[in-house]
């Protein structure tokens, strides 16, 4: 007997509602389909994302989503920071007197930090906790990999990669400024189709969108990846963080999903992650 899909309730209603909203914009759809929707997921979704394919291309008169999103992005960066936050890496919170002060970040148990390196150490250790709890990764305690990871994290590996990076620059960032964290008001219908901005499977279309987004940020004087000195080094640290505990190898629900394919597929994924991790450690001589 097939397992009950706890997320299917209201499926048709959501599709009809979305179709009505799109039609209200003066647009016709050729299809509406859920994105990243798994019918056998054991946990309830708290949001639903849909891909809307239009019968005819939308024009600038229909909506100006990216420009509005770029305005929000630039406004965050342009916020004047309090003097007390100039030696601060972390989150924000409210003190007892209702004043904004430095605090912990939402997803890290420590902080705030005075040095940028310390923030990266905390992020890596958080990922390693996930690897410790993974039935597939087993803390990376094979072939001496964990010792090499610990050496990079605890010695001078991070500091070496941060050489040439401007760690004195401070701006306010959202940290997860995606469509899943935005509200769309019916009275401002032009912003709704943000949901389809980055869902195209075509590489050329994605690159076109990326170039348009970069141009919007540049026009607003916002900091972009291409304008950050040492961004290639920061990207290497980000990739290392992801490799320490890839989501599909560190989340037990995802692991079970992989196992349902074939045992060989699980090993292929684990081997690929290990080889990428070893390649990084070799490149930094850890």
From the list 73, 72, 69, the residue with the least C-alpha distance to 194 is 69
What local confidence, expressed as pLDDT, does residue 196 receive? Answer: 36
- The confidence score (pLDDT) of residue 259 equals 80
pLDDT, tens only, 99-135: 888 888 888 888 899 999 999 999 999 999 999 999 8
| Tokens at 171, concatenated | 């701006």
Burial of 17 (0-12, 13-18, 19+ CB in 10 A): exposed
Is-contact 252 135, C-beta < 8 A? yes
Domain ranges of the chain: 115-171+225-286
Model pLDDT, residue 50? 80
List of residues 6+ apart from 37 with CB closer than 8 A: 7, 45, 48
> Where do we find the tokens 């690897």?
131
pLDDT score, position 177? 75
Contacts for 40 with CB less than 8 Å, ≥ 6 apart: 3, 5
Whole-number Cα distances in Å, 228 to 83, 222, 223? 23, 11, 7
Q: How far apart are CA 158 and CA 176, in angstroms?
A: 24
Which pLDDT value is given to residue 55?
Answer: 86
Rounded average pLDDT per 10-residue block, the chain, 286 residues: 60 83 81 72 64 79 72 90 85 87 86 92 95 93 94 93 89 77 55 37 65 89 90 94 93 81 84 95 88
Give per-residue pLDDT as tens, 74-96.
998 998 888 888 888 999 888 88
**CB 248: neighbour CB atoms within 10 A?**
15
Matching residue, tokens 């990326």? 210
Q: CA 215, CA 201: separation in Å to the nearest integer?
A: 22
pLDDT at 62: 58
- What is the overall mean pLDDT for the chain? 81
């Amino acid at each position: 007997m097939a397992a009950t899909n706890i997320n299917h309730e209201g499926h048709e209603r959501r599709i009809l509602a979305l179709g009505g909203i799109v039609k209200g914009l003066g647009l016709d759809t050729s299809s509406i389909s859920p994105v990243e929707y798994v019918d056998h997921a054991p946990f309830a979704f708290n949001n639903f994302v849909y891909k809307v394919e239009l019968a005819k291309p939308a024009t600038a008169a229909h909506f100006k989503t990216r420009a509005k999103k770029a305005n929000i992005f630039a406004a965050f960066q342009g916020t004047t920071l309090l003097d007390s936050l100039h030696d601060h890496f972390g989150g924000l919170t409210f003190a007892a007197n209702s004043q904004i002060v430095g605090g912990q970040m939402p997803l890290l148990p420590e902080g705030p930090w005075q040095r940028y390196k310390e923030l990266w150490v905390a992020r890596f250790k958080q990922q390693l906790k996930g690897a410790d709890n993974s039935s597939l990764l087993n803390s990376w305690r094979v072939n001496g990999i964990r010792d090499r990871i610990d050496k990079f994290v605890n010695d001078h590996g991070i500091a070496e990669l941060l050489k040439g990076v401007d760690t004195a620059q401070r701006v306010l960032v959202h940290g997860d400024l995606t469509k899943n964290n935005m509200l769309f008001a019916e009275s401002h219908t032009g912003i709704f189709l943000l949901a389809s901005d980055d869902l195209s499977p075509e590489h050329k279309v994605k690159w076109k969108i990326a170039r348009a987004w970069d141009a919007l940020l540049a026009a607003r004087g916002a900091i972009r990846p291409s304008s950050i000195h040492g961004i290639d080094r920061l990207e290497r640290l980000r990739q290392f963080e992801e490799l320490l505990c890839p989501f599909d190898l560190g989340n037990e629900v995802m692991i079970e999903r992989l196992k349902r394919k074939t045992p060989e597929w699980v090993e292929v994924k684990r081997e690929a992650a290990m080889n990428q991790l070893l390649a990084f450690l070799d490149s930094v001589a850890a």
